[in-house]
Structure 1
Amino acid sequence: MANEPEGTNALNHYLQTRDKANLLSWDESQQGPRHEPTWTCICKIDGIEYGRGTGQSKQAARAAAAALALEKLVDAEAQTQTEAAATHDDGTTPDAE
């Protein structure tokens, strides 16, 4: 969507390039008076919470949650790549020698 905040767009793009966009879901709740709500959005991927954000609009709360989720996903992917690079062909690590 053209109106999506940058965090939400970035998360959608990240998931689409990995064929996982269909695993994204949101839990949303509103608290406070209608004229001054506080929104909480939880970003879930395959049913697992990856980010939680709050804001004065649903869009702002989603953007905050999406940014946290994307950060976790990128960090986890980098960690996996680092571990894979440090593993020998036989499955052992340099520390095991």
Structure 2
Amino acid sequence: MHKLLEFDDKKLLRRALTHRSYVNEHPGEGEHNERLEFLGDAILNFLSGEYLYEKHGEKGEDELTRRRSALVDEKQLAKFAIEVGLNSRMLLGQGAKLDGGYQNPNLLSSTFEAVIGAYYLDNGSDIEKARKIVKDFFDSVPENIVVSRSNVDSKNRFQEWVQSKGITTPPIYKTEQDGPAHAPTFVATVFVDGIEHGTGTGRNKKEAEKAAAEDALAKLNRTYAGVTE
């Protein structure tokens, strides 16, 4: 068993593995993992930023931001989840299972975030213990993979365009959720200074926001030739 799954509080680990769809079908189960997912997402974003700051003393803010996005994106977190064995441990409802939930990158990445949040709590909210285990995951990602992904992050490219226009207000993303709990659809709209620039859909909030940024960039390409190159 992977050391990330070595918990003193087994109930906490079970909650981290429990998707909303399972709780819907088993009301007596208790709480699902979304609050832990929120915590784990915050921890991973902080630790990935710290990790890259220390590793790349020569890189500027924009490059570090792109690399951070690549290091904790859905695809990479889903790979971490499979390495740990979460693809066989997640507690899913029947609908989620039938929809291929055990191979769903969205569910895998979300569960990984939840387990990170739970691991932090199980270790007395000791960030050092979370840092140590997360660093091992980050170290395992080849540098060329991080660079390749960081070069195509649409949200960062759109923010760079906004900054290039002298706009100090960052893009604001507003996201709505639709569909069943086990297979939701997210619709995001990106605004700059209150003006809508693009919309997009995805299987989770991050994916929808990236799609909205891509839509905004595509519109800018049509309007201002070459500014987003």
TM-score, length basis structure 2: 0.31
**Comparing both structures, which one devotes a greater share of its residues to helix?**
2
Which of 34, 37, 47 aligns to 2:194? It is 47
Q: 1:47 to 1:3 in 2, by over 3 A?
A: same
Q: Does 1:30 align with 2:96?
A: no
CA RMSD of aligned residues (A): 2.2
1:73, distance to aligned residue in structure 2 (A)? 2.2
Q: Deviations over 1:22-76 (max 9, x none)?
A: 1521111011222211100001122121111001011111111101111222332
Match for residue 220 of structure 2?
73
Q: 1:58 to 1:69 in 2, by over 3 A?
A: same
Percent identity at matched positions? 33
> Would the aligned equivalents of 2:159 and 2:170 in 1 still touch at CA under 8 Å?
no
Output the CA distance in 2 between the equivalents of 1:46 and 1:31: 26
Report the AA paired with residue 3 of structure 1: S
Match for residue 3 of structure 1?
69
Q: 1:74 to 1:20 in 2, by over 3 A?
A: farther
Which of 164, 174, 179 aligns to 1:17? It is 164
Output the CA distance in 2 between the equivalents of 1:37 and 1:17: 35
Residues 85-96 of structure 1 mapped to structure 2, 5 A cutoff: none
Q: 1:31 to 1:20 in 2, by over 3 A?
A: same
1:18, distance to aligned residue in structure 2 (A)? 2.1
TM-score, length basis structure 1: 0.68
Output the CA distance in 2 between the equivalents of 1:62 and 1:54: 8
> Would the aligned equivalents of 1:12 and 1:21 in 2 still touch at CA under 8 Å?
no
Rg larger for: 2
**Unmatched segments (≥5 aa) in structure 1:** 79-97
SS at match of 2:224: helix
SS at match of 2:181: coil
Report the AA paired with residue 69 of structure 2: N
Output the CA distance in 1 between the equivalents of 2:221 and 2:167: 14
